[in-house]
Amino acid sequence: MEIAYGHRVESVDDEYIHIAECAGKETVESGNAGSMLVDFFPTLQYLPIWFPGAGFKRKAAEVKKVVQKMFDMPFEMVRNAMASGTASPCFTASLLDEVLRQGSLSKEYEDDIKSAAGVLYGAATDTTVVILSTFILAMLLHPEVCQKAQAEIDRTVGTERLPDFDDREALPYLECVIREVFRWNCPVPLGIPHRTIQPDEYRGYNIPADSMVIANIWAMTRDEASYPQPEVFRPERFLEMDHQALQLLDPRNIAFGFGRRVCPGQQFADSSIWLAVAHLVATVNITKVTGKDGKPLTPAAEFVPGFVSHPKDFTCIITPRSGKVVQLVSDLRDMSA
């Protein structure tokens, strides 16, 4: 939110966070490409919205309203802040300033800026939340992995500061943990659909022009020939690969899509996720909740299917590793205020 709109979020009750969550929820629940009959019979798009069987059009209209609100609200906030001279440096303000210096803001440019900023924030937030929640679940189920990553950070970075990007190459096990999180639960299992612009052939299959093509990324990351025991969360599998195999089988190479529809924010998301995971490992312990019988409650490794796949709701206890890390986090927040 701060990068896209210059808005610092102070509370989970923030109105911009709320509308973004609503838009994300509605988009995810609207289904994957191919989940609606109109995807297979395009002429159905011409049905009136009130016509029986045109429920997909009514649903699309509802989702469009929520998504448009997510685009409009923070954009207007930035524009008003610029008019009053109080805007913080951000993606939206930078684009608006560039356009306004060249003349007036046309409706076309306004829509482009709204969409670019909205996708930057919405897509990056959704992917990051899914990966971080999957990471927390994995650490809850495999505390030995978390302890090993913590030991690597303590040994390499120390306990007097938090990890930063300069430490990334020196933390290979942490990198493998993140790779395994992407592989274990790919955030967008079927990716973004493509459409062929000309006839093609793949392994003897003729694919006509204008066909929808969907990449089964989930199946790729669960291919037993590439990842033995794919259901098992085991970061060490990547440590055991040689450099060539690691470059080929890093699940992040496919998790962000392919070709012209590859996620344009891939590098940004990768950096954000790495820093968030590194800070979590360095600062907190993730443990199971105790049941009424005094025994730890172990959540199931279950995920909600859909356009975006996230873990089913689970409970855990997150506590600071020491009083020192509490101070480090507090100091970091003060510096960024």
* pLDDT band for position 37 (cuts 50, 70, 90): confident
For 283-315, how does the pLDDT look when each residue is reduced to its tens digit (9 = 90+)? 999 999 999 999 999 999 999 887 888 999 999
Tell whether the model's pLDDT for residue 238 goes beyond 90.
yes
How do 284-287 and 200-202 pair as beta strands? unpaired
Mean pLDDT over 91-116 rounds to 90
Annotated binding-site residue? 176: no
Using CA atoms, how far apart are residues 268 and 185, in angstroms rounded to an integer? 20
Mean pLDDT over 210-239 rounds to 95
Tell whether the model's pLDDT for residue 34 goes beyond 80.
no
Beta-carbon contacts of residue 31 (< 8 Å; ≥ 6 apart): 306, 307
- pLDDT at position 231 is 96
Tell whether the model's pLDDT for residue 201 goes beyond 80.
yes
| CA distances in angstroms from 176 to 77, 169, 254, 274, 287, listed in the order given | 40, 11, 16, 11, 21
Token pair recorded at residue 146: 């978390």
228 Rama class: left (phi>0) / alpha (psi -120 to 50) / beta: beta
Mean pLDDT over 107-124 rounds to 86
Helix (H) or strand (E) holding 180: helix 172-184
Q: Which residue has the higher pLDDT, 222 or 17?
A: 222
Mean pLDDT over 217-228 rounds to 96
- pLDDT at position 252 is 95
Q: Which residue has the higher pLDDT, 26 or 5?
A: 5
* pLDDT band for position 337 (cuts 50, 70, 90): low
- pLDDT at position 75 is 94
Mean pLDDT over 272-279 rounds to 96
- The dihedral through the CA atoms of 98, 100, 102, 105 has a sign that is positive
- pLDDT at position 31 is 65
- pLDDT at position 265 is 79
DSSP string of 5-65, one letter each residue:
H------TT-HHHHHHHHHHHHHHHT--TTSSGGGT-GGGGGS-TTSTT-HHHHHHHHHHH
- pLDDT at position 26 is 80
Using CA atoms, how far apart are residues 60 and 31, in angstroms rounded to an integer? 11
Q: How many CB atoms lie within 10 A of CB 58?
A: 12
Q: Where are the domains of the chain?
A: 1-105, 142-337
DSSP string of 197-223, one letter each residue:
SS-EEETTEEE-TT-EE---HHHHHT-
* pLDDT band for position 40 (cuts 50, 70, 90): confident
For 122-151, how does the pLDDT look when each residue is reduced to its tens digit (9 = 90+)? 776 778 889 999 999 999 999 999 999 999
Mean pLDDT of the chain: 91
* Superfamily name and number for 142-337: Cytochrome P450 (1.10.630.10)
State the residue for tokens 């009053």.
84
Using CA atoms, how far apart are residues 31 and 184, in angstroms rounded to an integer? 22
Token pair recorded at residue 101: 């210096």
* pLDDT band for position 192 (cuts 50, 70, 90): confident
Q: Which residue has the higher pLDDT, 249 or 269?
A: 249
Using CA atoms, how far apart are residues 127 and 270, in angstroms rounded to an integer? 10
For 169-185, how does the pLDDT look when each residue is reduced to its tens digit (9 = 90+)? 999 999 999 999 999 99
Using CA atoms, how far apart are residues 328 and 335, in angstroms rounded to an integer? 11
Whole-model pTM above 0.85?
Answer: yes
1 touches 9 (CB < 8 A): yes
